[in-house]
Structure 1
Amino acid sequence: MMLDINGCALNVELLGGEDPAKPLLIAHHGAPGLGSMEEPRAAFGWLADSFRVIIFDARGSGKSADVPPYDHDQWVADIDALREWAGAERFVMAGGSYGGFLSMEYAVRHPERLLALVLRDTAPDATHDNLALENARASDRVDIPEERLARMFDGKVLDNDDFRDLWRELLPLYTFTHDPAAIEAKVASVDYHYATHNAAFSTARETYDVKPHLHRVTCPALVTVGREDWITPVVNSEQIAELLPDAELVIFEESGHSPPLEEPERFQQVVRDFLDRALARA
C-alpha cells in the first residue's frame, strides 16, 4: 500500500496482521536509491508469526516517490512517522547496511522508543570506505577502474543507466560464494534512483558518525555480520558492539554482506533467540 508519510508517498507493507497485542518491528533496507523492501522481507519477514513487521521502500527508493530531502534527518523522521501510524509507543528497530546507519541514527535520537535493536552488516561512521575500497581492489572477482569506484563511493553517478552498470560491476563482491548467473537477475530486479544515491553518498553520509552517541542506546542490541563482508567489514561491527552498552556480536563465518540469505537457518535462530530474551526483559 502507498502511505503519505511526511509528504511523501511510501510503499509500505505490514506483515503479521494488525493485532496491537503483537509487538512492532520496523525493518529498514540498505542502499539508498538501490534498495527496497525485498531485502528486509527476506531478512526479517519470517518474524511475522510473532511480530507486526513493517517493511517499506524509503523515500527515493524502490516504488516510493522521489521526494527530497534524501538525508538522515528526513529518513529518521519517516521511521518515526511509520511507528506512529502503526500505533506503537515502543518497537524493535532493525536494519542492514545503510539501513543499519539509519537504525542507529534513530536509536540515538529516540532511545526511549526502542524495545531492542537488530543490526546487520553495518558501520558506525563512513571511515569503512577505505577498507571497502582496499577489498575491492584486492578481489579477483572484479576489475573496476578507479574512476568508476570513486564515482560510486563519492556519489557522482551520472544517471540511472550508469548506476545500473556500476552496480553490476560491484555485485560479485557481496556474496561468500560467487554465482555469476545470479548477477543479471539481481541487476534486473532493482528500481534505480541515482539522485538518491548521490545525495546519500556525497552529502548525507559525510557527517555520519554515531560513535559518540551510541552510549545512549540502553536497549538490548544484536550486532550481526558476515566474516567475508567486503563493504562493512567485521571490525565495524566489533566497534559498534563495544560502544553499545548492552550488545552481543555474532559473526557468520560463511557469509558475505548478507547472512540472512547465506546462512538463513542460523541467522533466524540467532535473531529469534535474541528477541525472545530482549522482549522478556522489556
Structure 2
Amino acid sequence: MPEVNVNGVQLCYEEYGSGEPFILLHGLGGDHHMFENEINELKKSYWVIALDSRGHGRSEKVPHYTLEDHVQDVIAFMDHLNIEKTSLLGASMGSYIAQGVAVFSPERVKQLILVVAKAFGKTSSTVRLQEEHADELKGLTEEEQMYALSKYIFHKPEMVGEWSQRVDVDVPVLTPEQQIAAQKALENFDFRPLLDRITAETLVISGRYDGLNPPKDGREVANLIPNARFVEFEHSGHAPSVEEPERYRQVVTEFLNRS
C-alpha cells in the first residue's frame, strides 16, 4: 500500500481508477476493505482513494487521538496529494470525519455522502449499545459480544457476517488497547451547530434497523445540512451497501449523476 506521513502519523491508502478525486472513509475498527462494492463501481468514473484512518488498518497505531485528528489528517492528506477539491463518502465513523472536513473546509468538498451517520455522540455508538445490553453481554469475549449485538445492528446479520469474513481476510486485527483508543476518539463530539456551514451537495443514507446510528440520527444530520437529501433503506441496518447492494448502488449513482 502507498503511505504518507501527515501530522506526524503514517497513513496507508489504496487508489483506483482515474478522473476527479473521490475519498472513502471507513468505520470504527475497519479499513479500506469495507468499500469493496463502492470501489468497484466508483473507479469506473473517479480517482478513488480509500484511506486507512490513523489507528486502523495498516496505518500507524498511535496510543491517543481524537476525531479532530482524523479530520485534520484528511485535510493534510489532500494537501499531500495536491487535491484541491474532492468528493467524500464516509460510513459510520467515516461519516463523522467527513462531516468535520466539510464543516471546516467546505470549499474543498464537492459531493458528500454520509452513510449511517450521526452528528454528535457522548461515546462511540458501539460502546453505547454495549452499555444498553450489558446484562446480555456479561461473561462474553469482545468477539462474542459483537456477535450477540449483531441482531441489533443489522437487519440481515448472516449476510453481513458472510461478507465480513470474505473482505476481512487481510485486515489487521486491533488489539484491545487499540480498540479502546479508537473508541475514545469518538467521545464528546457535536457537529450540530456547525452543519449549516456545509456547501457540498449532500446525500445521507440510513438503515431502518440500525441500532448503532438509527434513522432519526441520519435524518437530523440531513435536516441540519442545507439542501441535503435523506434516504432510509427499508431492509437494512448498519450496512446498507451490503444488505441492499442494488438499491444502494442505484441511490448513490443517481445522486452523483444529479450533483
What is residue 110 of structure 1 aligned with on the other side? Answer: 105
Of 56, 72, 78, the match for 1:77: 72
In 1, the alpha carbon distance for the partners of 2:27 and 2:109 equals: 20
SS of 2:55's equivalent in the other structure is coil
- Structure 1 residue runs of 5 or longer lacking an equivalent are 149-161
What is residue 201 of structure 1 aligned with on the other side? Answer: 183
Amino acid at match of 2:22: L
What is residue 151 of structure 1 aligned with on the other side? Answer: none
Could you tell me how far 1:92 is from its partner in structure 2? 0.5
What is residue 267 of structure 1 aligned with on the other side? Answer: 248
Please say if residues 132 and 232 of structure 1, whose CA atoms lie closer than 8 Å, have aligned partners that are also in contact: no
Please say if residues 21 and 46 of structure 2, whose CA atoms lie closer than 8 Å, have aligned partners that are also in contact: yes
Q: Deviations over 1:63-108 (max 9, x none)?
A: 2221354212221122112222332211111101111111111111
How many aligned positions are there? Answer: 254
Amino acid at match of 2:203: L
What is the RMSD of the two structures over their aligned residues, measured on CA atoms?
3.0
Could you tell me how far 1:49 is from its partner in structure 2? 0.6
Cα separation, partners in 2 of 1:65 and 1:165, compared to 1, 3 Å: farther
In 2, the alpha carbon distance for the partners of 1:259 and 1:56 equals: 20
Could you tell me how far 1:144 is from its partner in structure 2? 1.8
1:61 lines up with 2:62 in the alignment: no
What is residue 95 of structure 1 aligned with on the other side? Answer: 90
Cα separation, partners in 2 of 1:77 and 1:178, compared to 1, 3 Å: closer
What is residue 155 of structure 1 aligned with on the other side? Answer: none
What is residue 170 of structure 1 aligned with on the other side? Answer: 149
In 2, the alpha carbon distance for the partners of 1:38 and 1:177 equals: 20
What is residue 10 of structure 1 aligned with on the other side? Answer: 11
In 2, the alpha carbon distance for the partners of 1:135 and 1:227 equals: 21
So what's the TM-score if we normalise by structure 1?
0.79
- Structure 2 residue runs of 5 or longer lacking an equivalent are none
Could you tell me how far 1:198 is from its partner in structure 2? 1.7
Could you tell me how far 1:260 is from its partner in structure 2? 0.6
Could you tell me how far 1:15 is from its partner in structure 2? 1.0
Amino acid at match of 1:121: V
Task: Map 1:1-282 to 2 at 5 A.
Answer: 1-6=1-6, 7-17=8-18, 22-31=19-28, 34-126=29-121, 129=125, 133=129, 137=133, 143-145=136-138, 163-179=142-158, 182=162, 185=165, 189=169, 190=171, 191-202=173-184, 204-278=185-259
Please say if residues 21 and 86 of structure 2, whose CA atoms lie closer than 8 Å, have aligned partners that are also in contact: yes
In 2, the alpha carbon distance for the partners of 1:87 and 1:242 equals: 32
Could you tell me how far 1:172 is from its partner in structure 2? 4.1
Q: Deviations over 1:104-156 (max 9, x none)?
A: 11111111101011000010001695996399649xxx9323x87xxxxxxxx
In 2, the alpha carbon distance for the partners of 1:173 and 1:225 equals: 14
Cα separation, partners in 2 of 1:50 and 1:9, compared to 1, 3 Å: same
So what's the TM-score if we normalise by structure 2?
0.86
In 1, the alpha carbon distance for the partners of 2:164 and 2:88 equals: 31
Cα separation, partners in 2 of 1:183 and 1:215, compared to 1, 3 Å: closer
What is residue 153 of structure 1 aligned with on the other side? Answer: none
Amino acid at match of 2:241: P
In 2, the alpha carbon distance for the partners of 1:5 and 1:62 equals: 15
Could you tell me how far 1:53 is from its partner in structure 2? 0.7
